[in-house]
Structure 1
Amino acid sequence: MCTVDLPEHLNAATVLVDSHLQQGRADKPAILCGDATVTYRDLSKAINRFGNVLLNLDTRMEERIAIIMPDCPECVYAFFGAMKIGAVAIPTNTLLMPTDYEYLLNDSRSRVLVIHSCLLERIEPIRTQLKYLKHVIVVGEPPQGDDLAFNDLMDVASEALEAADTSKDDSAFWLYSSGTTGFPKGTIHLHHDMIVEADLYAQETVGVAESDVSFSVAKLFFAYGLGNGLYFPLRTGGTTVLLPDRPAPKTVYEVIDRYQPTVFYGVPTSYAGLLYLAEQEGRTSLGRVRMCISAGEPLPKVLYDKWLDRFGVEIYDGIGSTEILHIFISNRPGHVKPGSTGQIVPGYEAKIIDEEGHEVGVGEVGALLIKGESVAGSYWNKHEQTKETFRGAWINTHDKFHVDEDGYYWYAGRTDDMMKVSGLAVWPTDVESILANHDAVLESGVVGVQDKEGLIKPRAYIVLKDKNAASDELVKELQTFVKTTALPHKYPRSIIFVDELPKTATGKIKRYKLRQMAEAEG
């Protein structure tokens, strides 16, 4: 079995950044963002400065540093600066609501928050409820009140910093993953995890190299994006392109044309959008892109085929998770079965089990369990969920798969009701609880339905209080209601009004019946 040999004592910031100064890459671009070019020397100095900023604020080892930032160099400085002094960085989704931030900041007991000025309005309503937060550091526009200016703090901080004496098994960063209850879970990752994933997947499996320029549409606060856009290129001594803005198809093509990346990371929804625009504009070139990676949701074979036919570049589909940090099953150069998720990444082990815990045979569907060195140790402050997911050396992915005679894994759905929409988790109960707050809705049931591209989108079956109120205008109103109450990707793309929902004797929605209805309706 492929393994990664690491010393007992290491600091991820030193391994992923400082090592390149000794290896002759000090003047090589590490980050490209807008008009900015950050060399490995620049990056090392900025990380040291921010580490000293935190030390000057009396930050201690293992204290949490929350980061609510668009993808930009300052986000990277904060991430590794915290890690270098032995604190714990928490890259946080920039698309959340104030109540979500209240939960995350209090649950993590974050002592310092690093936030961009364009996102400050998200935390203003909840400031007085943040029980553990001591300092707010603002990037961008000059801050107000007691908030601290990032640039001012950096200007007076030293460029010299000795890394904390961390072990490979010390906490380095947390990533919050979605949960069935609506409350995300803090997934604890260690200093060695990024190095393991970069070596086993990025280098050994798909062949990311020092000469590569990487660009990811998935943001750094996602586990997928963090590898794509940060520690994969840094581990190999390559270059990453960061995009602070929303990765709309037109913007993505502008980035590809300007920076000429060689490795592109997307999700099926982004590939579908890029393909549509290319068809509209007659585009057939991706510049220097030699390899495309996909994860987040299954990549339909039809989308793979259309992409390859238009651009002549393969998409290597795979599956990863926040708990395992990145991809652990993947297609790869020379070994692609379109429609499959690929083969196990060397260094990881997989088994598929039935409901009694017994391994199933080839072609039989069961729950997928994974073992590997990048797997998180636990969820923070979530004992019951930890027991459900982490099973000794194995982790329950809560995904259903079957494996064929060639060792390729084929996705067969979730062991629970979660669906992946645009690569993001959507729980039907979350959408149903929002719809229940609308005056016109008596009850609803939500399931995932494939669109014409083979991608999963939410469909809501709704029982109205007044059945005569059903109309196209009400459909639009309900969709807008969900969009403005929750994250936009959660809104039901289609709504069907019904007289009643199929239920069990105990009153639970028979979701499989709704899926059958959806399949019949198309």
Structure 2
Amino acid sequence: MQASEHLPAQFNVATWFVDRHVTEGRGGAPAFHYETRVLTYGDVFDLANRTGNALRALGVGLEDRVLVLCLDAPEFLATFWGAIKIGAVPIPVNTLMRASDYLYFLNDSRAKVAVVSAPLLAEAGPILGQAPLLRHVLVAGGAAAGHLSFEEQVSQAGATLDAAPTSRDDPAFWLYSSGSTGFPKGAVHLQHDMWVCAETYARQVLGITASDKVFSAAKLFFAYGLGNAGYFPMAVGAQAVLYPHRPTPESVFEVLTRHRPTIFFGVPTLYAGMLAVKEAEKRFDLSSLRVCVSAGEALPDEIYTRWRERFGVEIIDGIGTTEILHIFLSNRPNQVRPGSSGLPVPGYEAAIVDDDGRPVPRSEIGNLRVKGDSTMAFYWNKHDKTKETLFGAWI
């Protein structure tokens, strides 16, 4: 699927995922469940507009970077979509890293503003004054001396915001990919990339609709989690559960029982941990689930089989990367081949090649290359690494 065949040249992705629900009359529909709160699509629209205006008032402009060091909470959504709407570039980063990593992200990205959830200041706080290009820090969910209050800045900002006239091929956001060696690499994603993933994997593999409710144990700062609980439900007007805490087997079971989602996204180690909970199928109610999804590493056949036997729902395994943004090889509901990662997602192509890029004979080992229109544009400030990774339209 090529975005250029479906989207106009001038395209701001926030208008598709956020504004569209309000303009089409779905502003009152529930969008996100967070702790005891329910945010409607109208609430998300209002938060994004106010946050975009607040960022603009702090000097953030077109293509300026905004570091998003946030828990899975409303401030993440507000900052991510608000920044994109004004043409700035949000950069969600892992909330479990060290202070030195955050300093690297700030210096590498040259972010003008950082939005930080208050509980994360214990680790990140000491280095926030060491990034020479960082102008402002907004703290969400608590006061912090020397920094601005996210809630105050947003509440005082206007609720009306026109989207910046970005193109479908402009940068929209970055995600840092750690890879196996060296410093993390900023994978630059474009305005059309999330739309492609939603229209291919979410719609055509998962069959997501407005009647679904999703819960992702993978956090929003991951490419996997960002799609799962971020923009996939927003593509169709579905609901998502935001969980700001560390997911443990017991806590995940409790969320599934309390919120009754229809789609659950996990990883193999979590599924294994949940299977280790004694009599979980008697203690917790998972009957609302129509499908479970796994990614991050290969799902062992044994975990798939035991999960289906105990909970009566299959796990759809797939492969995705930060660079391609989401899953590009996947099993299909009701067509799972346990132990396999499935077939190319509609809109993507895959090939097994040798070290020179030539297709290898069937049954021989080679290197996987993938072609799809959600692939990153490049690694920020890593020209040589970009050339080593991209092969024309293939990666």
Percent identity between the aligned chains? 52
Contact 1:88–1:174 under 8 Å retained in 2: yes
Alignment-derived partner of residue 514 in structure 1: none
**Kindly tell me: are residues 312 and 276 of structure 1, through their superposed partners in 2, closer, same or farther at Cα, counting changes over 3 Å?**
same
Q: Does 1:96 align with 2:97?
A: yes
**Could you give the per-residue CA deviations for residues 16-49 of structure 1, whole angstroms, max 9, x where no partner exists?**
0110112221111111010010001111011000
**In structure 2, distance between residues paired with 1:128 and 1:154:** 23
Distance 1:91 1:18 in 2: 21
Cα deviation per residue 1:406-460 (whole Å; 9 max; x = unaligned)?
Answer: xxxxxxxxxxxxxxxxxxxxxxxxxxxxxxxxxxxxxxxxxxxxxxxxxxxxxxx
- Which residue of 2 is the match for residue 48 of structure 1? 49
- Is the CA contact 1:68–1:92 (under 8 Å) kept in the aligned structure 2? yes
Q: Which residue of 1 aligns with 2:365?
A: 365
Alignment of 1:36-185 (within 5 A): 36-145=37-146, 147-185=147-185
Structure 2 runs not aligned, ≥5 long? none
Provide the alpha-carbon RMSD of the alignment: 1.4
One-letter code aligned to 2:221: F
Partner of 1:437: none
* Match in the other structure for 1:8: 9
What is the letter of the counterpart of residue 37 of structure 1? V
What letter corresponds to residue 387 of structure 2 in structure 1? K
Counterpart residue type for residue 388 of structure 2: E
Structure number with the bigger relative contact order (C-alpha 8 A, sep ≥ 6) is 2
- 8 Å contact kept, 1:187–1:378: yes
Equivalent runs, 1:370-449 vs 2, <5 Å: 370-395=370-395
Contact 2:80/2:90, CA 8 A, preserved across alignment: yes
User: Which one-letter code corresponds to 1:148 in the other structure?
Assistant: L
Secondary structure of the residue aligned to 2:68 is strand
1:418 corresponds in structure 2 to: none
Shift of 1:205: 1.5
Q: 1:166 to 1:213 in 2, by over 3 A?
A: same
Q: Can you list the C-alpha shifts for 1:143-174, whole angstroms capped at 9, x where unaligned?
A: 212x1001111121110000000111111100
Question: How far apart, CA to CA, are the structure 2 residues paired with 1:127 and 1:343?
Answer: 44
SS in 2 for 1:89: strand
**Per-residue deviation, 1:281:** 7.0
CA distance in 2, matches of 1:165, 1:367: 39
Matches of 1:40 and 1:300, distance apart in 2: 38
Partner AA of 1:331 in structure 2: N
Counterpart in 2 of 1:255?
255
**If the length of structure 2 is used for normalisation, what is the TM-score?**
0.97
Match for residue 458 of structure 1?
none
**Corresponding letter in the other structure for 1:43:** V
1-structure distance, mates of 2:189, 2:394:
16
Q: What is the CA distance between 1:357 and its match in structure 2?
A: 2.1
Distance 2:2 2:175 in 1: 26
The residue type equivalent to 1:367 in the other structure is N
User: What is the letter of the counterpart of residue 58 of structure 1?
Assistant: G
Residue 278 of structure 1, CA deviation: 4.7
* Cα displacement (A) at 1:287: 2.9
Please report how far the alpha carbon of residue 284 of structure 1 lies from its aligned counterpart in structure 2 after TM superposition: 6.9
In the alignment, what sits opposite 1:309? 309
Determine the C-alpha separation between the residues in 1 that align with 2:248 and 2:172: 32
Structure 1 residue 123: Cα displacement: 2.3
Letter in 1 for 2:157: A
1:349 counterpart residue number: 349
Q: Is the 8 A contact 1:284 1:311 kept in 2?
A: no
SS at 2:199 equivalent? helix
Q: What is the CA deviation profile of residues 61-89 of structure 1, one whole-angstrom value per residue up to 9, with x for unaligned ones?
A: 00000011110111100100000000000
CA distance in 1, matches of 2:275, 2:25: 39
